[in-house]
Amino acid sequence: MKLITAIIQPHRLEVVKNELQNAGISGMTITDVKGYGRQKGHKEVYRGAQYVVDFIPKIKIEVVCDDINAPQITDVIVQSAHTGKIGDGKVWVTTVNDLVRVRTGEHGAIAI
Amino acid sequence: MNSIILAVSQTITADSALAAANGAWMLVAASFVFLMTPAVALFYGGMCRSKSILNMFMLCTGAMIVVAVLWPLWGYSLAYGTSDIAGIFNSPFENFLLSSLIKSENGVWTAIAGEDPSAYASTIDVAFQVTFAMITVALICGAIAERVKISTWLIFVGFWLTIVYCPLAHMVWGGGILSDAQNSITSLIFGGTTDSNGEWIANVVPHDFAGGTVVHLNAGIAALVTVLLIGQRKGFGKEPMRPHNLPFVMIGAFLLWFGWFGFNAGSAFAADGVAGYAWISTTAATGAAALGWLITERIRDQKFTSLGAASGIVAGLVAITPAADVVSPGFALVLGAIAGVVCCLAVGLKYKFGYDDSLDVVGVHFVGGLIGTVLVGFFAADTGLVYGAGPNQLFAQLIVVIVAVLYSGILTTIIVFFLNKTIGWRITEDEEVSGIDYANHGETAYEFSATTVLDR
């Protein structure tokens, strides 16, 4: 099983969510996060004073899936989150050692 | 069944009707001005970061409750009465606990009737004036946001009201050295005449209609010296410290505007044409100031901000305060526009000079109060420079500014310094970074996420 973690622009969430649902995933978790990549150090002016803002609000999406589906789901996220501008985000895939459904106690891929 | 029983001696005369009408308005005006302190709490609170809003509300509350207690004790007596001492303050014993002002009649406390039957009861005056003291003290809080101990503030309020506000109110409004009294500075410089009743008529009278000096210049300079002594917040000038709740800031500004109708129109002390005019000039200047601020912001920062609108509104209200009854509609607009533009530029000075006037009390109240007080010398009907009356009124205004700034500045410095050396002002750096609300009050203002509920 694989955990796919994606950091995306907040305004792309609706699109990414719809595309993931069309691709047949059975669940996801989203979190409000802040971060920076190459967008760091952007300047803002407010009330006549200049500020350097490091952290930009983003959304993190986490999806667990079978090994076999991971490449396709990763592509779905990348394509639907894409805008072409700096700050589009990143997606990474890690291995899940175990997954348990809390309601039934089932272990493994059956719990996806 | 209720019946209305008139006391045996009470009749409705033209005088008593006038007293009742004006008194009714003044009680309402007092309540409006009272609302201005909670409004300032909202205005400032929204401008703080979310971890500091409760502390800002507590600072404003502290101002209200300490003043409320000290006012009937000696606050009113220090400012107003017939026992002037050196033109600086009135004897605090004359009306300690309002002793010379009130009496009990049939088991109920009421005002002792004055000489003038058309004047409303003096107790109404005491009420109206305490609300001015409250708001003046509360204005200072904005400068010291997010970093001071509440205990030190409460003690400061007691000292500052007693030593700074009440005497300055006496000097300007209570017949002291900045008023029209015979021993005032302007009477000594410009002279005057004595009329047939033996009353002194000064040739030149400094004009502070509703508190441009006593309230705004006073609080503004006090805020400036305080922040110079207590220092900056950690991260000032480097980290963005932005308002966390702009809707609160706007609501605060609107409630301030609303309350200001009592502040300015109520300073006519009558429900008459002057009060109505002051209402209008206040609104006109405020609109002009808000537009002036917004346009300046648009040119400098390319955005019209809601914070700018709220601040422009307050800057206009501050600047028109000393002038609302004496400037024509046109000059009210000019005065407002000048205040809006200049204050917008002035709030940036704190970064250049390195003083952490956190919520721009100096930039808006000191600068706005200064603009309004000085422009009275130019624009006041009959006595202003532009009316060809010569520079005397302007000199009078400048004298008031200089004396007020020196008096408030020096005495506030002494109080702040003394408190700093004894009990200290600042919370620790760790407390400041993790949040003054929890450090000072053990509370957090907002519990929005599932996990924060677990902590308390």
CB count within 10 Å of CB B221 equals: 28
Check residue B394 and give its pLDDT. 97
What does residue A25 show for φ and ψ, rounded to 5 degrees?
Answer: -75, 155
Check residue A37 and give its pLDDT. 84
Which token pair is A98?
């175990």
Per the DSSP assignment, residues forming a β-bridge with B406 are: none
CB count within 10 Å of CB B93 equals: 13
Mean pLDDT over the full length of chain B: 94
What does residue B89 show for φ and ψ, rounded to 5 degrees?
Answer: -145, 170
Instruction: For residue A53, list chain B residues with Cβ-Cβ distance below 8 A.
Output: 240
Check residue B452 and give its pLDDT. 60
CA closest to A45 among chain B residues:
B301
Check residue B454 and give its pLDDT. 53
Nearest to B348 among A49, A51, A53 (CB): A49
User: Are A48 and B240 within 8 A, CB to CB?
Assistant: no
In angstroms, what separates the C-alpha of A80 from chain B's closest C-alpha?
29
Taking Cα atoms as reference points, which of B266, B259, B256 lies closest to residue B26? B266
Q: Is the pLDDT of residue B245 over 80?
A: yes
CB count within 10 Å of CB B237 equals: 13
For A:35-94, CB contacts with B below 8 A are: 44-49, 51, 53
Q: CB-based contacts of B314: which residues, under 8 Å, 6+ apart?
A: B43, B253, B256, B364, B368
Instruction: For residue B308, list chain A residues with Cβ-Cβ distance below 8 A.
Output: 47
Write the pLDDT tens digit of every residue in B366-405.
Answer: 999 999 999 999 999 999 999 999 999 999 999 999 999 9
CB–CB contacts below 8 A, A to B: 25
Decide if A32 touches B, using CB distance below 8 A: no
H or E segment at B349?
Answer: helix B349-353
Contact B359, B145 (CB under 8 A): yes
Q: CB-based contacts of B67: which residues, under 8 Å, 6+ apart?
A: B75, B130, B133, B134, B137, B157, B161
Contact B168, B196 (CB under 8 A): no
Whole-complex ipTM: 0.77
Distance CA B356, CA B347 (A): 11
Name the pLDDT band for B3 (thresholds 50, 70, 90).
Answer: very low
CA closest to A53 among chain B residues:
B240
Q: Is the pLDDT of residue B450 over 70?
A: no
Distance CA B365, CA B370 (A): 8
Question: For the residues B76-81, what does the mean pLDDT come to?
Answer: 96
**Residue from B242, B249, B293, B349 whose CB has the most chain A CBs within 10 Å, to mutate:** B242
For B:272-331, CB contacts with A below 8 A are: 300-301, 305, 307-308
How far, CA to CA in Å, does B390 sit from each of A43, B378, B399? 50, 9, 16
Contact A28, A91 (CB under 8 A): no
Q: Is the pLDDT of residue B214 over 60?
A: yes
Q: At what angle do helices B329-346 and B273-301 cross, to 10 degrees?
A: 40
Instruction: For residue A47, list chain B residues with Cβ-Cβ distance below 8 A.
Output: 301, 305, 307-308, 347-348
Check residue B1 and give its pLDDT. 45
Write the pLDDT tens digit of every residue in A55-91.
Answer: 889 999 999 999 999 999 999 999 999 999 988 999 9
Check residue A53 and give its pLDDT. 77
Distance CA A3, CA B113 (A): 84
Distance CA B219, CA B365 (A): 7
In angstroms, what separates the C-alpha of B238 from chain A's closest C-alpha?
7
Check residue A50 and give its pLDDT. 77
CA closest to B363 among chain A residues:
A47
Write the pLDDT tens digit of every residue in B225-239.
Answer: 999 999 999 989 888
For tokens 């009278």, what's the residue?
A: B205
Decide if B242 touches A, using CB distance below 8 A: yes
Nearest to A47 among B237, B239, B307 (CB): B307
Write the pLDDT tens digit of every residue in B79-131.
Answer: 999 999 999 999 999 999 999 999 999 999 999 999 999 999 999 999 999 99
Check residue B225 and give its pLDDT. 97
Q: Is the pLDDT of residue B7 over 80?
A: no
Q: Is the pLDDT of residue B456 over 80?
A: no
Q: Is the pLDDT of residue B6 over 90?
A: no
Cα distance between the two ends of chain B: 53
